[in-house]
Chain A
Amino acid sequence: SQKIEQNSEALNIQEGKTATLTCNYTNYSPAYLQWYRQDPGRGPVFLLLIRENEKEKRKERLKVTFDTTLKQSLFHITASQPADSATYLCALASGGYNKLIFGAGTRLAVHP
Chain B
Amino acid sequence: DGGITQSPKYLFRKEGQNVTLSCEQNLNHDAMYWYRQDPGQGLRLIYYSQIVNDFQKGDIAEGYSVSREKKESFPLTVTSAQKNPTAFYLCASSPVPRSSTDTQYFGPGTRLTVL
Instruction: Using CB atoms and an 8 Å cutoff, list the residues of chain A in contact with chain B.
Output: 4, 8, 31-32, 34, 41-46, 49, 51, 89, 93, 96-105
Tell me if B1 and A42 are in contact (CB < 8 A).
Answer: yes
- Distance between B87 CB and nearest chain A CB, rounded to angstroms: 13
B69-115 contacts to A, CB under 8 A, are: 90, 92, 94, 96-109, 111
Contact of B42 among A42, A89, A96, A97 (CB under 8 A): A89
- Complex CA–CA separation, A49 to B102 (angstroms): 9
B31 contacts the other chain (CB 8 A): yes
Q: Nearest Cβ distance between residue A96 and chain B, in whole angstroms?
A: 7
Partner of A45, one of B42, B98, B100, B106: B106
Interface footprint category on B? 20 to 34
Dominant SS among interface residues on chain B:
loop
Please state if B43 and A89 are interface contacts (CB–CB under 8 Å).
Answer: yes
Question: With A4-B42, A44-B90, A104-B42 given, is the CB distance from A98 to B108 under 8 Å?
Answer: no
- In the A-B complex, the 9 residue pairs with the smallest Cβ-Cβ separation, listed nearest first, are A43-B106, A102-B42, A102-B43, A46-B103, A98-B102, A104-B42, A44-B106, A103-B42, A97-B98
> In the complex, A101→B100 CA distance in Å?
14
Q: How far apart are the CA atoms of A104 and B39 in the complex, in Å? A: 8
Q: How far is the CA of A34 from the CA of B47 in the complex (A)?
A: 20
**Which single member of B35, B90, B94, B107 contacts A98 (CB below 8 Å)?**
B94
Is B17 in contact with chain A by the CB < 8 A criterion?
A: no
In the complex, chain B residues whose CB is within 8 Å of the CB of A49:
101, 103
Asked whether any CB of chain A lies closer than 8 Å to the CB of B41, the reply is yes
Given A43-B106, A97-B31, A98-B97, output 16 extra A-B contacts at Cβ < 8 Å: A43-B4, A43-B92, A43-B108, A44-B90, A44-B106, A46-B104, A46-B105, A51-B101, A89-B42, A89-B43, A98-B98, A98-B99, A98-B102, A100-B45, A102-B44, A105-B42
Residues of B within 8 A of A43 (CB): 1, 4, 90, 92, 106-109
CB-CB nearest in chain B for A104 = B42
Give 13 A-B contacts (CB < 8 Å), ordered by A residue.
Answer: A31-B100, A41-B111, A43-B1, A44-B90, A97-B98, A98-B94, A98-B96, A100-B43, A100-B45, A100-B104, A103-B42, A104-B40, A104-B41
